[in-house]
Amino acid sequence: MLPVLNNADSLAYFWPEMILTAGAMGVFLFDLAVAKSPRRILWLTVASLGVLAAAALATSHVAGLSPTPIGLFNGLLVLDPWAVFFKYLSWAVTALAILIAGPSLEVASERMGEYCALLLAVAVGMSLMASSTDMLMMVIGVELVSMVSYALAGFKKHDRKSSEAALKYVVYGGVASGMMLFGMSYLYGLLGTTNLVGTAARMNAQAAMLAQAGVAASVAGAGRVAMVVAVVLVLSGVGYKIASVPWHMWCPDVYEGAPTPFTAFLSVGPKAAGFALAVRILYGAMSVSGGADLATAVADVPWPQVVGVIAGLTMTVGNFAALNQTNLKRMLAYSSIAHAGYILMGVAAASETGSQSVALYLVVYLFMNLGAFLVVGIVGRLSGSESIFEYRGLSARAPFAAVAFAVFLFSLTGLPPLAGFVGKFHLFKALVDRGGSWQITLAIVGLLNSAVSLYYYARIVKAMFLDKPHTEERIAVPASYNLLLGALVGLVLVFGVYFDGLRQLAGSSVVLFGHS
């Protein structure tokens, strides 16, 4: 029997989220206290990072309390290595997004407090997404992340594009949440519970009931169709969060309009939480162990194939749409769509190594994608533009940023010896290990896509190093940005060579509550 705690006992395992919730409110009040201070941004940054550091300490404390997975709040949430991994990842993304925002001119100093506090709230939401095993809790996690993200996307008050981003995000997000809830209502009707632990067994029992003698063929067929429809609808909510095709439409517009520090956050944080959720639903709940570390889907729900098709479509659409973009933020938005496709290959593999490669890739992706958006922020800070025109001859105007950008872009392509190669290699390997014909086909599609992506990444590198700049004016880069760039480049280079620790960390995190 799996251990599940009641509400009062669960609080001892809920410190990170409680600290962040209290911290978010504290930052709101602290903002009032330092409103007159000339060092307001610095104070707020330090306070928010302090809250996140406390949350990280609390995470390691609660992770140490229970060596085995444990259910919290009567089974609404769980605390297992998978959740702990994504909690750390969420705190890290949030901390970086707050660090980036300080010197950025897009977040005005009088609104920095709101920015930090809202990001802390999103961090709680991402943690809830990664650790929920109940469909209702999943919706609450997704909504918490989405609602606050709408406000943050429209953070530039008098900017039309920012308002457009917020509005489009609200409309798409509302529809996606609605579809997900609708699918969940079907699943609840079919399985009789909102809890996802043991879904595989329930789905099998349901399929067995439909298959038994005395059930009319039409009824059995309708039951199967309802199950597949329910799964597809639930997946569309998750697909919207990770911006996969065909739920990617919001992504370029929102990324373009939102303030760059938040775009950087959005391209990594909620996406990672969405993948944590996807693996928890698909691998953790809806599959059973089928020998070795491979899982098999249950009850006529061909979800690995469905996810495989979505993965192929996502990377192809993302990469081909990115080819012609001249706005760097839009290009990186399509690139992040393509990357959602690559990572979905790890989900479609439906194996322990597949889930491990998803976790591994998301860490690598955090460094290289945040780094890429950081450079976009640096260039946009001076010119206010994200056009590729501004990047011509960047090697003469901001040499370090140009070199760092080249490293991030080649890492995003997946070229060795950078971290992106390591991440991609594990995704492909997990898929090929399954050995089926469609898995091999998908891997080939992924390889061809990587080749396509090299074109638009290299186009920027060419503009930065070979083209003449339109002005000789040097771009002033704040010292903290240079430090951050250096750290991120260092991580991308180091993880490209010494990746064994990271792989082991990701591997030991693939322990999901209730998955056998």
Partner 1 sequence: MSPSPVGPYLPLAVTLLVSGLMAAALPVLAHFLGPRRASKVKSESFECGSVSEGSARQRFAVKFYVVALLFIVFDIETVFLYPWAVNFKALGWFGYAEVAAFAATLLVGLAYVWKKGALEWET
Binding site for partner 1 (CB under 8 A): 8, 25, 28-29, 32, 189-190, 206, 209-210, 214-216, 219-220, 222-223, 226
Residue closer to partner 1 (CB basis): 224 or 429: 224
Question: Hunting for tokens 């951050």 — which residue is that?
Answer: 484
Residue closer to partner 1 (CB basis): 56 or 190: 190
Our CA angle for 325, 326, 329, nearest 5°, is 80
Q: At 393, phi and psi to the nearest 5?
A: 65, 30
Residue closer to partner 1 (CB basis): 162 or 509: 162
Burial 6-25, CB ≥16 within 10 A → b, else e: eeeebeebbbbbebbbebbe
SS3 assignment, position 138: helix
The sign of the dihedral angle between the CA atoms of 132, 135, 137, 139 is: positive
Residue closer to partner 1 (CB basis): 1 or 216: 216
Shortest CB 167 distance to partner 1, Å: 16
Shortest CB 298 distance to partner 1, Å: 16
Residue closer to partner 1 (CB basis): 214 or 435: 214
SS3 assignment, position 198: coil
Exposed (0-12), middle (13-18) or buried (19+): which is 34, by Cβ within 10 Å? middle
Shortest CB 211 distance to partner 1, Å: 12
The rounded distance, in Å, linking the Cα atoms of 337 and 342 is 9
SS3 assignment, position 295: strand
Task: Give the CA distances from residue 388 to residues 385, 391, 481, in Å, rounded to whole numbers and listed in that order.
Answer: 9, 5, 21
Residue closer to partner 1 (CB basis): 49 or 205: 205
The rounded distance, in Å, linking the Cα atoms of 317 and 340 is 11
Residue closer to partner 1 (CB basis): 209 or 440: 209
Shortest CB 161 distance to partner 1, Å: 21
Structure tokens at 167: 């509005």
Our CA angle for 492, 494, 496, nearest 5°, is 70
Our CA angle for 154, 362, 161, nearest 5°, is 15
Shortest CB 191 distance to partner 1, Å: 9
Residue closer to partner 1 (CB basis): 227 or 379: 227
First to last CA, the chain: 12
Shortest CB 42 distance to partner 1, Å: 21
Shortest CB 14 distance to partner 1, Å: 12
Shortest CB 63 distance to partner 1, Å: 24
Closest CA relative to residue 168, chosen from 96, 114, 249, 236:
249
Shortest CB 219 distance to partner 1, Å: 4
Shortest CB 256 distance to partner 1, Å: 26
CB–CB of 280/512 below 8 Å?
A: yes
Residue closer to partner 1 (CB basis): 109 or 305: 109
Peptide bond into 469 cis (omega under 30): no
Residue closer to partner 1 (CB basis): 135 or 210: 210
